[in-house]
């Protein structure tokens, strides 16, 4: 579903991603973890071209794009690729002046992902799924951080993506609200079989839900494997030291 091939990314003279290869299969959940600054978010942001890869290629749902400068053709292809990708950020970025329902339907209506009636119905079903059916008419300010993040997840899902990217989705939340967001993500993985790439330090979630974990170190994947191996018996001293610090 996602193929990252020879990915490099530099900001000016600073090379922050130094050759990352990663395949994510349909229905697979891959947790990406590692020290701050190791390039995790940048890799995720390259998958949907929020950042343009300097070198290498990204393929999502059969659409393959090379890094480097944007041509008009490439811009069109990026637009097509993005229809397959939903993203959830650390900050929820909801529109404060819109109701929860309008927040969820807005992008899907703009992109014409169905008739207005279909999108509204889908949004209501998704709000139900994330446990917020009764909040459809509220404005985001009336919701807790955990509830707002669940709205952001419903909004991304309303676009009917094939893969969901989560960039530290719980790190802006108070600890008591983290569980409700992770619970929704767990349901997404286990019941909806969503393909997911998740940057998180929630090792409990990784242990329980991830099919694979990839440890990032200085712009590269130092090691990857099933959680039982990565958490249970990491190969590298850097992975072990990081796990000792977060577990
Ligand atoms: N738009 C940008 N311009 C310049 N430097 C950037 C930009 N985005 C990221 N960086 C730098 O790239 C490096 C990697 O950042 P990135 O956010 O990918 O790391 P990370 O592993 O996700 O860490 P964190 O957990 O702190 O977000 C950092 O040194 C960061 O300062």
User: How many Å lie between the centroid of ligand 1 and the Cα of residue 105?
Assistant: 31
Rounded CA-CA distance 158/32 in Å is 24
68 lines ligand 1 (CB under 6 A): no
What is the full DSSP assignment across 99-152?
-HHHHHHHHHHHTT-S-HHHHHHHHHHHHHHTT-GGGTTS-GGGS-HHHHHHHH
From first to last of the 247 residues of the chain, give the pLDDT tens digit. Answer: 999 999 999 999 999 999 999 999 999 999 999 999 999 999 999 999 999 999 999 999 999 999 998 889 999 999 999 999 999 999 999 999 999 999 999 999 999 999 999 999 999 999 999 999 999 999 999 999 999 999 999 999 999 999 999 999 999 999 889 999 999 999 999 999 999 999 999 999 999 999 999 999 999 999 999 999 999 999 999 999 999 999 8
39 lines ligand 1 (CB under 6 A): yes
pTM score: 0.96
66 Cα distance to chain centroid: 21
Whose Cα sits closest to atom 26 in ligand 1? 36
Are residues 114 and 108 in contact, defined by beta-carbon separation less than 8 angstroms? yes
Whose Cα sits closest to atom 8 in ligand 1? 42
């Amino acid at each position: 579903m996602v193929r990252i091939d020879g990915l490099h990314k530099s900001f000016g003279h600073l090379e922050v991603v130094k050759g990352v290869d990663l395949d994510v299969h349909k229905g697979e959940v891959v947790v990406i973890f590692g020290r701050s600054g190791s390039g995790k978010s940048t890799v995720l942001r390259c998958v949907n071209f929020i950042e343009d890869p300097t070198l290498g290629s990204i393929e999502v749902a059969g659409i393959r794009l090379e890094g480097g400068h944007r041509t008009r053709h490439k811009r069109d292809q990026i637009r097509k690729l993005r229809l397959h990708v939903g993203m959830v950020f650390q900050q929820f970025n909801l529109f404060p002046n819109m109701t929860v329902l309008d927040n969820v339907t807005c992008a899907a209506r703009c992109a014409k992902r169905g008739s207005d009636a279909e999108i509204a119905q889908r949004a209501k079903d998704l709000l139900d799924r994330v446990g917020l059916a009764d909040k459809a008419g509220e404005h985001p300010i009336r919701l807790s951080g955990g509830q707002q993040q669940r709205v952001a997840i419903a909004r991304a899902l309303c676009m009917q993506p094939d893969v969901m990217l989560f960039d530290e989705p719980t790190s802006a939340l108070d600890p008591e609200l983290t569980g409700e967001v992770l619970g929704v993500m767990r349901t997404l993985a286990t019941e909806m079989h969503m393909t997911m790439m998740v940057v998180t330090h929630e090792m409990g979630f990784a242990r329980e839900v991830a099919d694979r974990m990839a440890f990032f170190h200085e712009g590269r994947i130092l090691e990857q494997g099933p959680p039982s191996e990565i958490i249970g018996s990491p190969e590298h001293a850097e992975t072990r030291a990081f796990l000792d610090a977060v577990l």
